Amino acid sequence: MTIDVFPNDDNDVLRVFVVRHGQTDHNKQKILQGHLDIDINQHGQHQAEKVGEFFSEFKIDEFVSSDLIRCQNTIAEITKRQINANEEDIPVKLTSNLRERNMGVVQGMNIQNALEIYGADYKNMGETKVELLSRVENEWNHIIKRNESNKNILICTHGGVITGFFNHLYHSRDYKLNQDLQPHDLKVPFNTSVSVIDINKATKEGTIQNFGSTNHLGGHFEVKDQRLR
């Protein structure tokens, strides 16, 4: 379940909007992407434009993105529509720490082929889950620390990162859930979906306020095949 997404105006709170990149052909064809630098397709471009329009009246203080092209081209549609944008695009901080999980030898394989060859362990042929969470958490801590004086920031990353890290924040770092959310809601989100976390600047306590909102796309959409990354 998702609720309305809106900007934060509380000086005591840092609101983090987390956006998944637009659809790629590999998403559509059920091919495991991992670190492969696959761009968004035509439909993904349309999704990116829609999420860009949604955020056009939000004042975002900082933009951070995975350095893979599918995220860069998604967040570009958001920054160029910002109300405070000048003739030049707003700078985006790029980082490899927000990349999707490295899938090793199964990158570029159809998920069914990966299952047939490597079995249920196909997701562990490259980067471990612990390694993924470690680099994402390291980046997250830096982002939160340098934005202590800000109100609203936006991150663009990948489905596996969002799913794994949000569950880590809830189960291991004691972030709370909005009363309208349940733990089972924290699953692979739809392309260009918006998830929201509030950080209390004084206590450092976090609350997951929204997860996987697709209202900007004209309805509620979910990823049917939760095995995909």
Q: What share of residues in the chain are helix, strand, coil (percent, to 5)?
A: 40, 20, 40
Which residue among 21, 158, 168, 216 is the active-site one? 21
> Known catalytic residue: 21?
yes
Nearest one of 48, 37, 23, 150 to 94, comparing CA atoms:
37
> Known catalytic residue: 100?
yes
* Under 8 Å between Cβ of 74 and 191: no
Residue 141, both tokens: 């801590």
Residue 66, both tokens: 């995975």
Tally Cβ neighbours within 10 Å of residue 47.
Answer: 26
Bridge partners (DSSP) of residue 43 are none
Which residue among 26, 77, 100, 168 is the active-site one? 100
Instruction: Report phi then psi at 109, rounded to 5.
Output: -95, 145
Q: Which CA distances in Å does 20 have to 24, 38, 79, 81, 100? A: 12, 14, 15, 18, 11
What amino acid positions are annotated as catalytic residues?
Answer: 21, 100
